[in-house]
Amino acid sequence: MPSSTTASPAGRRGRPGYDQQSVLNIAVEVFNRHGYDATSMGILAENLGISKSAIYHHVPSKEDLLALALEQALGGLESVWEAPASQTGTAEERLEFVVRSTVRVLTEKLPFVTLLLRLRGNTETERAALERRRGFDRKVAELIGQAREEGTVRSDIDPRTASRLLFGTINSIVEWYRPGGSLSAEKLADDVVAVLFDGLHTRS
């Protein structure tokens, strides 16, 4: 399976004017615009303003570009569980931290997470990425289950259903959020937590 270990190191420079990261950034924009399957190396070269052969100075293949892009998204999401706040406190506190951190990763790596969420699973690289994403979702469902046992979240909703609804809300952000606008990433996270944990009812 092509992976980030088969592509050239992130700091390696190829043709003048581009390093691997800048090639990757543009490639992800093109993948999101046209779809990964519909994007040829020729389309990538046209958007980069270089020849197809020049792209190979940076990465061995289009699928290696995909693997590098997905690692940025998945690595950011999986790092949430490495933070001490995801391991200490009540299950509800840990769940709120995970939700806030997921929103932060999404806003910081918006094009990469968008690509991850649009995968169809047509290649081995995509299927491996989707399995890692499902692993993240399972951890959240387990955390919701723990919070339910603590009595801090509703017990009448299945944890897996709650997890799907929770991330359905978060994942929809990629379709409308634009960094640099009037809504900051911090306020967005506050709003998401307020709606998911408190609902839309006004408090008496």
Q: What pLDDT shows up at residue 198?
A: 87
User: Which residues of the chain register pLDDT less than 70?
Assistant: 1-17, 200-204
Digit-coded pLDDT (tens) for 141-164: 999 999 999 999 888 989 999 999
CATH classification (class only), 69-198: mainly alpha
Rounded Cα distance, 184 and 204, in Å: 28
- pLDDT recorded at residue 18: 81
Alpha helices (H) in the chain, listed in sequence order: 20-34, 41-48, 52-55, 62-79, 91-108, 110-117, 124-150, 159-171, 185-198
pTM of the model: 0.85
The domain locations on the chain are 69-198
